[in-house]
């Protein structure tokens, strides 16, 4: 009688090894996923910056609610224009290595539907991690600076080439040129710790105190400021305030006034703000329309300070600061100017200014009113052109405005 065939399945050795390998690989993969979701691993963006994807549930809820309100509003901000549902869904789970979320970038625009832009960068990495939102806003504001474009190398040009934009003194009350700078190795205001604020103030104070010549002056910390000094700075219109509702909503005023301070030279024609909106606001100014003197002073100061404090700079975006409107050169050349005839038709004034890439503000800057018919008018473009070109746009534009005012 024949024996029944054995039911035992013989598995070749190599298949056993494959089964062990696949089982181990699957377990390892599951472990990696679990660790990744719990924040043990991060992803790198195209700039080499790392970010995880764990966004707190409360933050997500606030983000979703803010987006819904903005979408239903009649806001004309660039934030609303470019934060589509598709972009929102693609970015809402992302974070920078500093822990910044999309909400940190957009919460000012969520809370203030009358914002013109509505977005800030809580740290330098945000420009890359949330590039799907920042890039089109940058392109729109900076007149077509595309994500494939590269900001040119710094070039202040011939500082002696500018003269007085209003030699007779009939229209221009004062002239100012400023730039913003971020200190390399530090995040922006929303991510700074109290200890970092103090450390930065010490570095800035010691650096500025070493300036010589016409830049020589004194640093005044806001913390513990003497009342008499405070009043003098107010009288000189040097003292900056804690920040408007737009900056407050962006968490730009944490630990106030710790780490904040003001420096000015003896002649009161050179000023530096420490940790106001940006790490540094470097300002050159004087009465009248002599742009040449003002610009030369600024260039000298920036070059001297940069020898002692490394600035945050990116090959494509130029100098990095808190607001995407202030990238690239970060140069803002402005005048306080009286144009009473043009001012009677404000829409016309803005139309002409826009033609020459100029921005019209109130006497005390953004979100303020014109006092006594005096406007603050500056170059609008800061990106995709050199420092010299940015200042020349303002010089040429103001010259044209004065010609038009005279012709009316």
Average pLDDT over residues 117-139: 96
User: In three state form, how does the secondary structure of 283-300 look?
Assistant: EEEEECCEHHHHHHHHHH
Q: Is the pLDDT of residue 401 over 50?
A: yes
Contact between residue 342 and residue 362 where contact means Cβ atoms under 8 Å apart: no
Specify whether 296 is catalytic.
no
Q: Is the pLDDT of residue 38 over 50?
A: no
Specify whether 361 is catalytic.
yes
Contact between residue 82 and residue 110 where contact means Cβ atoms under 8 Å apart: no
- Say which of 325, 329, 330, 386 is annotated catalytic: 325
- Say which of 260, 323, 381, 393 is annotated catalytic: 323
Contact between residue 100 and residue 252 where contact means Cβ atoms under 8 Å apart: no
Specify whether 212 is catalytic.
no
CB-hemisphere CA count at 13 Å for 151?
A: 26
- Say which of 178, 260, 381, 382 is annotated catalytic: 178
- Say which of 276, 277, 387, 405 is annotated catalytic: 277
Q: Is the pLDDT of residue 31 over 60?
A: no
- Say which of 105, 201, 274, 281 is annotated catalytic: 281
- Percent helix, strand, coil in the chain, to 5, is 40, 15, 40
Average pLDDT over residues 198-209: 97
Specify whether 297 is catalytic.
no
Q: Domain coordinates of the chain in residue numbers?
A: 51-141, 172-407
Q: Is 335 labelled a binding residue? A: yes
- Say which of 254, 296, 316, 361 is annotated catalytic: 361
- Say which of 61, 64, 194, 366 is annotated catalytic: 366
Q: Could you tell me the pLDDT band of residue 32, with boundaries at 50, 70 and 90?
A: low
Quickly tell me which residue has 């309100």 as its tokens. 69
Specify whether 316 is catalytic.
no
Return the SS3 of 127.
helix
Average pLDDT over residues 141-160: 92
Q: What was the pLDDT predicted at 234?
A: 83
Torsional class of 404: left (φ above 0), alpha (ψ -120 to 50), beta (otherwise): alpha
Q: What was the pLDDT predicted at 245?
A: 93
Q: Is 195 labelled a binding residue? A: no
Q: Is 15 labelled a binding residue? A: no
The closest of 146, 67, 120 to 278, measured between CA atoms, is: 120
234-272 confidence digits (pLDDT tens): 888 888 888 889 999 999 999 999 999 999 999 999 999
Specify whether 245 is catalytic.
no
72-109 confidence digits (pLDDT tens): 999 999 999 999 999 999 999 999 998 999 999 999 99
Q: What was the pLDDT predicted at 4?
A: 47
CATH class of residue range 172-407: alpha beta
For the beta sheet containing 332-338, the strands, ordered from the edge strand earlier in sequence to the opposite edge, are 217-221, 261-265, 270-274, 280-287, 172-181, 332-338, 374-379, 358-361
Q: Is 382 labelled a binding residue? A: no
Contact between residue 126 and residue 100 where contact means Cβ atoms under 8 Å apart: yes
What is the Cα–Cα distance from 284 to 387, expressed in whole angstroms?
Answer: 14
Q: Is 362 labelled a binding residue? A: yes
Q: Is 181 labelled a binding residue? A: no
Q: Is 308 labelled a binding residue? A: no
Torsional class of 28: left (φ above 0), alpha (ψ -120 to 50), beta (otherwise): alpha
Q: What was the pLDDT predicted at 211?
A: 96
| pTM (two decimals) | 0.81
Hey, which residues does 358 pair with through a beta bridge?
Answer: 379
- The C-alpha angle 379, 384, 386, rounded to 5 degrees, equals 70
Do the domains at 51-141 and 172-407 have one common CATH topology? no
CB-hemisphere CA count at 13 Å for 62?
A: 14
In this structure, what DSSP letter does residue 362 have? Answer: B
Contact between residue 259 and residue 274 where contact means Cβ atoms under 8 Å apart: yes
What does the mean pLDDT of the chain come to?
87
Look up the CATH number of domain 51-141. 1.10.135.10
Q: Is 177 labelled a binding residue? A: yes
Q: Is 365 labelled a binding residue? A: yes
Q: What was the pLDDT predicted at 112?
A: 97
């Amino acid at each position: 009688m024949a024996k029944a065939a054995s039911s035992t399945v013989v598995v070749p050795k190599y298949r056993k090894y494959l089964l062990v390998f696949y089982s181990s690989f699957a377990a390892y993969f599951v472990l990696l996923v679990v660790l990744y979701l719990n924040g043990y691993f991060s992803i790198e963006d195209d700039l080499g910056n790392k970010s995880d994807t764990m966004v707190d549930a409360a933050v997500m809820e606030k983000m979703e609610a803010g987006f819904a309100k903005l979408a239903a509003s009649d806001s004309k901000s660039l934030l609303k224009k470019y934060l589509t549902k598709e972009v929102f869904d693609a970015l809402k789970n992302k974070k920078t290595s500093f822990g910044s979320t999309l909400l940190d970038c957009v919460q000012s625009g969520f809370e203030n539907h009358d914002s013109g832009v509505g977005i800030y960068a809580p740290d330098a990495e945000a420009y890359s991690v949330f590039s799907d939102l920042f890039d089109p806003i940058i392109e729109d504001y900076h007149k077509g600076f595309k994500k494939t474009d590269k900001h040119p190398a710094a070039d202040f040009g011939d500082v002696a080439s500018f003269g007085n934009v209003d030699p007779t003194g009939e229209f221009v009350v004062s002239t100012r040129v400023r730039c913003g700078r971020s200190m390399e190795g530090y995040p922006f205001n929303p991510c700074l710790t109290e200890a970092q604020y103090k450390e930065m103030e010490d570095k800035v104070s010691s650096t500025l105190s070493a300036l010589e010549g016409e830049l020589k002056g004194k640093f005044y910390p806001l913390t513990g400021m003497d009342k008499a000094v405070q009043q003098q700075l107010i009288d000189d219109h040097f003292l900056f305030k804690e920040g408007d509702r737009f900056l407050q909503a962006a968490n730009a005023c944490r630990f106030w006034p710790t780490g904040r301070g003001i420096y000015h030279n003896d002649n009161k024609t050179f000023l530096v703000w420490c940790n106001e909106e940006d790490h540094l606001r470097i300002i050159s100014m004087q009465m009248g329309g002599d742009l040449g003197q003002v610009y030369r002073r600024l260039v000298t100061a920036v070059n001297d300070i940069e020898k002692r404090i490394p600035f945050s700079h990116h090959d494509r975006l130029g100098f990095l600061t808190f607001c995407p409107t202030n990238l690239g050169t970060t140069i803002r050349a402005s005048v306080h100017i009286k144009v009473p005839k043009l001012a009677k038709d404000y829409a016309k004034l803005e139309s002409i200014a826009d033609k020459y890439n100029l921005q019209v503000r109130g006497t005390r800057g953004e979100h303020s009113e014109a006092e006594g018919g005096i406007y603050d008018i500056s170059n609008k473009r800061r990106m995709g052109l050199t420092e010299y070109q940015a200042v020349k746009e303002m010089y040429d534009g103001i010259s044209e405005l004065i010609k038009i005012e005279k012709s009316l």
